[in-house]
Amino acid sequence: MVARLSEALFAETLRRYVELLPPGQTGWLAGARDPDVGNALALVHREPADPWTIAELARRVGVSRSVLAERFRHFLGLPPMAYVTRWRMQLGAQLLMSTSHSIAQIAAEVGYESEPAFNRAFKREFASPPARFRMKSKVAAAH
């Protein structure tokens, strides 16, 4: 009961904070408040493994690709597909640290059709291949 009350209080505090952001504010919370960017963020976070393209994301949000790209850059400082990649890499890193799933399985769970593609993207993001990242995480957790 206390945990649920804490969650509700946090959600309400966050909602009020977002409502009070100045109109020119940028960043993730300001983007989440924007109807188009917020809907795109919700889709990507809810369905990270979908084969997203800028065209499909824009279609699902109901705006043109150029409008979505411009609004994403304005609020988040990067294009939509770069955000999708970064989000998938964050999810992949979390799965590497918290599960014993194979790298191929994690790649599929976060939207990559092949393990090598996931390995390349992961290494670009974290400067380490997934297997080494997992090993370093386990060593760090043991200390």
Distance CA 86, CA 79 (A): 11
Residue 32 has pLDDT above 90, yes or no: no
Look-up of token digits 């279609």: 59
- The pLDDT of residue 2 is 66
Residue 14 has pLDDT above 60, yes or no: no
Residue 18 has pLDDT above 70, yes or no: no
* pLDDT category of residue 28 using cuts at 50, 70 and 90: low
> Is residue 2 classed as helix, strand or coil in its secondary structure?
helix
Residue 21 has pLDDT above 60, yes or no: no
Neighbours of 136 (CB within 10 A): 14
Could you tell me the residue ranges of all domains in the chain?
25-78, 85-142
Residue 63 has pLDDT above 80, yes or no: yes
| Tens of pLDDT, residues 87-105 | 999 999 999 999 999 999 9
Please check whether residue 43 is in contact with residue 28, taking contact to mean a CB–CB distance below 8 angstroms. no
* pLDDT category of residue 141 using cuts at 50, 70 and 90: confident
Flag the least confident range among 10-19, 37-46, 134-143. 10-19
- The pLDDT of residue 125 is 94
In the chain, the percentage of residues whose pLDDT exceeds 70 is 83
- The pLDDT of residue 42 is 93
Report the amino acid identity of residue 132: R
In the chain, the percentage of residues whose pLDDT exceeds 90 is 71
Please, how many CA atoms are within 13 Å of residue 7, restricted to the half-sphere of its CB?
4
Q: Look up the CATH number of domain 85-142.
A: 1.10.10.60
